[in-house]
Structure formats: C-alpha cells, structure tokens
Structure 1
Amino acid sequence: MKQLRLMMLGVICIFLLNGCSDFLEEKSQDEVIPKTVEDYGELLLNYMGYTDVWRVLYVLSDETGIEEKVLGAYSDDKDDYRAVGIKSIFTWQPDMWETESVGINSGYEDTYKLIMGVNAVLDGIDEAIGDQKTRDRIKAEALGLRGFYYFFLINLYGEPYNYNKDAPGVPLKLTAALVENGIARATVEEIHEQIVKDLEASSRLFGNLPKRRGDYRINSTTVDILLSRVYLFMERYDEAIAAADKAIRTAEGLTDYTDLPEDTEFFMPTYDHSEVEWVYGAVSLEPGMHVFAPAKELMAYFEGKEDRREIFWFEDSDYYGLQVNKIVYSYQTIPNNTIRVSEAYLNRAEAYVLSEQANKNTLALADLNELRRHRIVGYEDVVIADGTELLAEIREERYVELCYEGHRWFDLRRYGMPSISHDYKARPNLSWLTYTLREKDPLYTLPFPTTVFKNNIQLEQNPSAREPERKGEIKSN
C-alpha cells in the first residue's frame, strides 16, 4: 500500500509540474517518484510560485492611474484583448473574469495548482527517506506556503474577515488526492483558521532549526511576517504584535536607503538588501500594462521630502511613463517578488495603535519613525499624540512602503471597503470617464471565473458576478 501511495503521488506530481527541476528532467518516468526528503524538497521548490492575478491587484486598487502621454500606445479596439481585459479590471466590470484579461481568469486555478503541489509534498514527506531535521524544514516550508496561498485566495474571492467571517470563502483542500463531485466552499472564518493553523505549525517547526536565507525558499522570518499580517487582518492585535516581534528579532534589519548613493541602480528582489527575507516567483510585465502609472495620490506623499524611495522605485520614461523599478525591472526567469521585514514594522505599528497595550501610541510611533529613518534623508522623528491621526499616518506609510506588492487591495477591503475611483480614457481625443467602486461594493469580492465551475460542481458564484455593467461619468474639468 505504501508503494502504491507513493506511485500515485508521483503521477500527481508529474501532472502538476509546470516546470520541472533537473532531478526530474533527467530521469525516466518510472524513476520520478519522490522517495527521499531531498526529493520532496526539490519538488516543493517548483511551488514557491506566483500567479498572474496577484500582479494586477494594483490595477484594482487606488495605486494606479493612466498617463495621458502614453495613451497613443493603448487601443480600445474590441479585438484587442489587452485593451478589453485591462480596461475591465481597471473599471471594475463584473465580467472581468470572462475576458482574456491579465491574470483575473487564471488566478484561481493557478493558485490551486500551487496548493495541490504543496499538498502532494505534505502527503508524502512523513514516509520519505531521510533525516528528521531536513523533513521538518520541508514540512515547515510547505505549511508556510499553503497558508500564504490560501490567504491570497480568501482575500480575492471571500468577503473581508472583519466584515462577514460567516460568508462563503473558497474550497478548502488539504490533500493532493483527487475528489469526485467537487468541494463546497468553506466559510471565510474556516479558511482563516486553517491559514493560522498552517502558519503557526510552520513557525514552530522552523523555530527548532537554524535560519536559512538567500536560497529562494520560504524561511522562518517570512512565516512570522505572514503570521503578523494574518493576525492583523483578523484583528487579533496582541498576537500580531508578538509575531512581528519575533520576525524583527530574527531578521537581518532594515536596509538604510539613506546610505545608498542617489545614482544606485536599484533592484528590489535581491538578498543584497538586508530587509529582504524571501525572493520568490517570476513574472514579467504584460503588454498593455505600461499605460498604468503610480496614482497621483501615491506620488504626492514624496512632495517636500528627500525620500529615497521616490528615486529608487520610480523612474521617468518617455515611452512607458512613470514606472516602479522594483516591479518592472525584471525578467520572466528571475524571481522578482519579495517579503520584507519592513512589513513587520508596519504590521506591529498598526496593531499597537488598535490594541489595548500600555504606551501603545509611543510604541507605534517608534516603529513608524524607525522605518522612515531608513528611507528619508535627514528625517526627524514625529510626535503624534492622537491615536486616530497616528493610525492614518501608519496606513499612509503602508500605502507607500508596500505599493505594487499586492497589499493595497487587501488593505482597502479590511479598512471597510471605501469608495475609490479611476479616471479612464482609451485615446487622447476622447473625454475622461470616471468609474467608481462604491463603498462596500460587491466587487470588492471578485467573481469566480466561469471556467472553474466545470471542475467543481459544488462551487457557488459570488453575487458580484451579477452586478450591472459599470458606466463611467464624464469627468468635469
């Protein structure tokens, strides 16, 4: 039975792999069954990935605008999938999931492929040949990844936890075994409980092992950063603080941008920056995405400040408009996504303000000032006594520090789903149209792609799929 189980697992792994590591490529089919803990470690590396949908979250949020000077390169031709797809996302159309758009229609399936690969590793690792410490490390990595992936899925397709945790979430699948007749959606709360369970188990396993960094694998500090994020979303503030404390203690420290020369050719996804704990995934910019530039509200933060993020992260281009170096300056074969310890400072600062801890505002200010000292030349610590004002400052800093990294859309959801708007036009000779996402708009929870229903007959669509077409209003000058 054990050999049969391993053979079935091997077959599953073959079908799941989009790209195989060398140890799989160079062996014949009857030798690809993972047997050792090292085999499972190599297999797991294939699932430290990324999906297209994650990189268009900033198109949904208030991080982006359209630069008029690049509109000539953009078409509103209905036959141009780039124009139709990107516009549907940017204007929050309920049928965005029906178009051949940039990632929206594949994110669900792509993320579940990653989860299935991780589950395959967890299914077989306990029976694999090898030493216990290596086994524990691979289990810690796999559990951390599964928690990470479910966090993204539930924040795409489930209502915000602090808004309606009893709402339908996403299907919860914890093994790689094939299931007939599909899986019904677990609740938002059930998914979050599983995420916490996975991340906490991962953190415990990592806690008994020496820290590793720089090998493109998820590590102990990364898992604790993720835990602090999830606890913050669940409004478990004391636990968010404790997880962030642990992450900051084990991290290599913030990178001091003020020590870098102004002409530095800055690239975010590198372990050369002390604050980068995990570099993962690989994604290139989709044709047509160049029409989006950082929102004016985002860039306004830098006015009157000698903030090195402005010159390191953004550049002017006659063709592309303003772009973010840490996202655009990449190639498809190079991992270019990161988790950084700066997030732990922001998670902890916000949790302090919202907690019942003594001296909470003083502690939150210390984190805010510490981060800014590493970003702004000549920065002088601010003193903010009012808790509401301090929370607004921390959230604004989060908006800037974590821009274009998949955070803002999820943050807007937990902030109460405020109304936001996008100005859009297809060509320079047309009028600007303003599209609005209403406060608590159903489209803060994305519809499922129609393609996934054929593979899961128990899946139920979100109400946002039945929203009417969004119409733009002519913008007044």
Structure 2
Amino acid sequence: MKNIKSKILYTLVLTVFFAAGCDGLLDINPKQSIDAEVALNTSDNVEAVLIGAYNALSDDDLFGGEILFEPDLLADNNLNNEVQWTGTFEEPEQIWRKDIQVENGQVSATWSAAYNAINLTNNVLSALDVVDEDIRDRVEGEALFIRGIIYFNLLKLYGLPYSAGNVGTNLGVPLVTTPTDEINEESEIPRETVQAGYQRVLTDLQNAESLLPPTNGVYASAPVAAAILSRVHLQMGNYDLAREAADRVISSGNYTLTTNYADAFNRTSNSTEDVFSIQVSEQDGANSMNLFYASSANGGRGDILVRPPHISLYEAGDDRLNLFYDSDTRTGKWSNQFGNIGVVRLAEMYLTRAEGNFREGAPYVGAAPMADLNEVRGRVNLPLYTLPTEFDLDDILLERKLELMFEGQLLHDLKRTQQDVGDISYDSGQITYPIPQREIDVNTSLDQNDYYEQ
C-alpha cells in the first residue's frame, strides 16, 4: 500500500534540507534523532528539520490519506453500508469490516509515521535557542502545531473516545516530548491516560496559536491552530470553547467559502476556504484519497464505492450531489491525483460554531446557529431556514455529515455524539485501533486495548 515514490522523495527532500545548512552535512542520512551538535547547530538547519516535519505530516500513512479515509471506513454502518471497500488490500478491508487484527500493517504504519513526525518536532523544539530571534516564535508554534495535531489523531484512533468517560483511567498513547535515538525508543514509554493525552494536545495547540502569525502561507498559522482546537474541544464536549475557537477562524477574515461547492476540491493551490491543506504536486506528495476513492480514469484504484443509502440522505437539488460520478458510486472530492488534501475547511468552522451555539444557547458567539447553517446550505442551493424552530441538533449534525463526508471526520463525530456504528457501540474497542503488535513485542510496558486481548 505504500506510495514508494512518495517515500523516496521524502528521503531525498529531507536529505537536501539537511545538506543545505553546510557542506559538512552532505554525508548525514536522515534519521529519527538528529545529532544536535551537527544538524541542529544553525537556525537554517532547524528550519530544515521543521520542513522535514511537515513532509512527515504529509506521509501517506498520515494526512497524505490513510489517517483520513480509513477512519471513514471504520465509521461505515455495518448494517446498512453507505460505502463499500472493494479493493484487494487486506488491511483496509479489515478496518471496513471492523475485524482489525493486531498485526494489521496499516495500523502499524500509521503509528510509526506519527512518531517519526513527532520526533522531528521534538528535535526542533529542543534547539530553539539557535533559531534566529525574529522567527523563533513561528518555528516553535509550527512544531507545536504539528505535534499537537498528530497526538490528537492518535488519541482518537488508538484510545477510547473522550465521550466514553473514565478519561483518567482509559489509556491513550505514549506521550514523547523529547528527541529519541531510535525509531522504537518511544516504545519504552508506557501509554498515558486519555485525559493526559488531551491535556498535552490542548497545551501544544494553545501555545501554537499564541506563537503563530495570523497568516503563514500554506504553513500553520494562528487560525489553523484555532481550527484544530475547535475539533479538540468538540471531542471533549466543551461546546463553548469549540464555538469560540471556530469563531476565531471565521472572524480572522482569512477565508471565504468558494462560490461553488465543487471548487473547494481537486485543487493544486489552496482555495479561499482551505484553512489548512496538505500540498501535493506532480513532483512531491502522496494523495491516497485519490488513490482509493477515484476511478482509474481519474488516477485512482476505485477501491471505495459510495452506496445508495448514502446518496438518499441528500435533499433534492443539493449541489453536493453533482460531485458524485459513475452513476453516483464515487465521490468527486478526490478526482485529481495531484490535488491538495484538505485537512480543515471554513465550512466546518461554520458548522462547529452553529453546533456550539445551538448547544450553549444565547448569547451567541459570532452569529446565530441559523445564520451559520444558512451559509453552508445556501452555497449548495438548498432552501434557507427562516425560523430557528425549523431545525434541531439532529439537523445540524446531518448537515455536518453531508458537508464533510469523505474527509475523515465521520468516525470522530459519531463517537463524540455517542452514536453507534450500526450495531457496534460508539465506545466499543471494535471501532478503535489496536496498539500495533510490533510495538508491544519490543515494549513490555505497552498495554493492549482490552478488546484485542479477548
């Protein structure tokens, strides 16, 4: 399942970045732990490692696709499938069937890729004293953002949901905050609780938002950190804080909804509503969303089919229906194999603010729920609500599902709202990843999730 071209390019890119600092680095191979006396001795070199962390974040096992589409497979209703895995790869089929084995190679690869990226950020954070003072806050903020978003997604996949309670005893993932010498050294650290993990994420992202500039090109900025914070607060049921974080993104003025829904996807440069996207080009980057969702005519394998139970959820005249193709069996969100992979869009922020305001009530933050819902519905030519009594929380959550479908949010929304996946309880270990057996084999302090010890 690996995108071999992407892996080779990542190694080459990281080597070039390290070499750019000084000629003496030409013979240094990229590795998990950077010798601080050699590679992290200048501001330019630390920035190079930070770029390496962004490259690691875009790995196909992370936000290059796998960490987005595989949770959507896991979220599929096993009693009334809205999507269907038809491919030959066993690992995603296990995930779709909710029959994940502890040796599942993709589950293991995502874990390893995540800790690789985390370790690169830890290297950056360990060398801030050599970074030029005028860019130090930005560099620190970007590293904290990358570490925070990765830990957040690890917690959602490998631990029970925050909504299940018992956050002080349920186990999350190991929290590594200093550089490690070897790829598996983090396995010497036991799993921390879900509560400790979320506190780590909050601390990283809150600090990132305070350090980052209001705009930063395609890299993390203060509104980007706020957008991910809004997701964290939603998962924790902190609706007041979620709506405030979403409002900071909206009120930044950096983003506007695209005029047409389809224009938000398949882009080689960010759209006006992209808050944060993984940059993909013909020269670099993996796009596993295209690989598995798109038809062969659009550069993909076509392994994931959309089924009629999903199509039936849309209202007549919804422009989002026009993005499906091949007799409505494929989503058109990922038709460009060299298109960017959107991580968070402005539309999500409107829906988060609407939900937070609906749950918390007046005084509203930013706008009333009806106004935010109408922003999303109006863009896809649906009738606008004219009275607050015309919708309820279920309508807001359905709008969120349809707007963000096939973008990696469904499983996490189901879990946080305590909605079961077919006949599987929202807090079941069956829809949680196992701790990779490879990690447990080298680390006796790592406990397996209870479901996989049966």
TM-score (normalizing by structure 2) = 0.80
Query: Is 1:221–1:251's contact at 8 Å kept on the other side of the alignment?
Result: no
Q: 1:239 aligns with which of 215, 238, 241?
A: 241
Aligned ranges 1:257-276 → 2 under 5 Å: 257-258=259-260, 267-276=265-274
Equivalent residue letter for 1:461 = Q
Question: Residue 3 of structure 1 corresponds to which residue in structure 2?
Answer: none
Alignment check: 8 A CA contact 1:417 1:444 kept: no
2:158 is aligned to 157
1:442: Cα distance to partner?
A: 2.2
Question: Which residue of the partner structure matches residue 135 of structure 2?
Answer: 134
1:302 aligned counterpart, secondary structure: coil
Are the aligned partners of 2:264 and 2:273 in contact in 1 as well (CA < 8 Å)?
no
1:17 Cα deviation after fit: 5.8
Q: Equivalent residues in 2 for 1:282-361 (5 A)?
A: 282-284=286-288, 285-286=291-292, 290-305=302-317, 307-311=318-322, 313-316=323-326, 322-331=329-338, 335-358=340-363
Which residue identity lines up with residue 173 of structure 2 in the other structure? Answer: V
More helix by proportion, 1 or 2?
2
- Structure 1 distance, partners of 2:335, 2:230, is 28
Inter-CA distance 452–392: structure 2 relative to 1 (3 Å threshold):
same
Query: Percent identical across equivalent pairs?
Result: 25
Once the two structures are superposed, residues 222-263 of structure 1 have per-residue CA deviations (whole angstroms, 9 ceiling, x without a partner) of: 1111111111211222211221111111143332334x8xxx
| 8 A Cα contact 1:118 1:145, kept in partner | yes
Number of aligned residues: 403
Q: Which secondary structure state, in structure 2, belongs to the residue aligned with residue 252 of structure 1?
A: coil
For the pair shown, the structure with the greater C-alpha radius of gyration is 1
CA distance in 2: counterparts of 1:113 and 1:241, whole angstroms? 32
2:18 equivalent to 1:24: yes
- How many angstroms does 1:415 deviate by? 1.5
Counterpart-to-counterpart distance in 2, 1:239 and 1:464: 32
Task: Map 1:41-120 to 2 at 5 A.
Answer: 41-48=47-54, 49-50=57-58, 51=62, 52-62=66-76, 65=82, 82-95=88-101, 97-100=102-105, 103-120=106-123
Deviations 1:343-367 (A, max 9, x none): 1111111111221543689811111
1:47 partner SS? helix
| 1:409 corresponds to | 411
2:449 and 2:193 map into 1 onto residues whose CA distance is 13
C-alpha contact (below 8 Å) 2:148/2:201 kept by paired residues: yes
- Cα distance in structure 2, aligned partners of 1:150 and 1:53: 12
CA displacement at 1:210 relative to structure 2 = 4.7
Q: After superposition, give the CA deviation of every residue in 1:178-237 in whole Å (9 maximum; x if it has no partner).
A: 45871111110111011111111011112xx35223x3x122211111111111211222
Report the 3-state secondary structure (helix = DSSP H, G, I; strand = E; otherwise coil) of the residue aligned with 2:276.
Answer: strand
The question of 1:394 aligning with 2:396 is answered yes
Q: How does 1:196-235 map to 2 (within 5 A)?
A: 196-206=202-212, 209-213=213-217, 215=218, 217-235=219-237
Aligned-partner SS, 1:370: helix
Could you tell me how far 1:369 is from its partner in structure 2? 0.9
Measure, in 1, the Cα distance between the counterparts of 2:186 and 2:426.
39
**Structure 2 CA distance for aligned equivalents of residues 459 and 66 of structure 1:** 34
Q: Which residue of 2 is the match for residue 430 of structure 1?
A: none
Q: CA RMSD in A?
A: 3.0
Question: What is the distance in 2 between the residues matched to 1:415 and 1:442?
Answer: 16
1:94-148 residue CA offsets vs partner (Å, 9 max, x unmatched):
42x4244xx3231111111111111111111x22142x23111111111111110
Which structure 1 residue ranges, 5 or more long, are not aligned? Answer: 1-15, 75-81, 421-435, 468-477
Instruction: Deviation per CA, 1:50-86: give whole Å up to 9, x if none.
Output: 423433111111286456xx96xx5xxxxxxx35333
Change (3 A) 1:222 1:296: farther
1:472: which partner in 2?
none
Amino acid aligned to 1:401: E
The alpha-carbon distance between structure 1 residues 289 and 163, as it changes in their structure 2 partners (threshold 3 A), is farther
1:432-447 mapped onto 2 (5 Å cutoff): 436-438=423-425, 440-447=427-434
